[in-house]
Amino acid sequence: MPKKDQLARIWADEKPAVRIGKSKLDAGVVEEVRRQLKRRKVIKVKFLRSLAASEDIDKLAADLAAQTSSEVWGRRGFVVVLAYRKP
């Protein structure tokens, strides 16, 4: 887990690396999240409102973390911070 100040910096400074919409967690989205995590180690993922109206964001974030070998560091509204976890 990150330190409190590190997580605050991520929330304030980083822009979402991936935006997930109606396509949900298809293979292309999962692969892009993997690529971004390998490059940056910590990323923000934004779930668009069109998806959030019909799906549970916490469940989608947990599924995405499981598929990408990462862990959820936090959630604010429709945005989730994921961090690469060594397998």
CATH at 61: 3.30.110.60
Instruction: Check residue 87 and give its pLDDT.
Output: 66
Beta bridge partners of 59: none
Q: Structural domain of residue 9, as residue ranges?
A: 4-84
Task: Output the pTM of the full model.
Answer: 0.87
Question: Residues in the chain with pLDDT < 50?
Answer: none
Between CA 77 and CA 65 the distance in angstroms is 17
Of 77, 73, 66, 87, nearest in space to 10 by CA:
73
Counting the structural domains of the chain, the total is 1
Q: Which of 65, 36, 59, 61 is nearest to 46 (CA)?
A: 61
Strands 70-76 and 18-20: unpaired
What is the rounded distance in angstroms from the CA atom of residue 30 to the CA atom of residue 67?
7
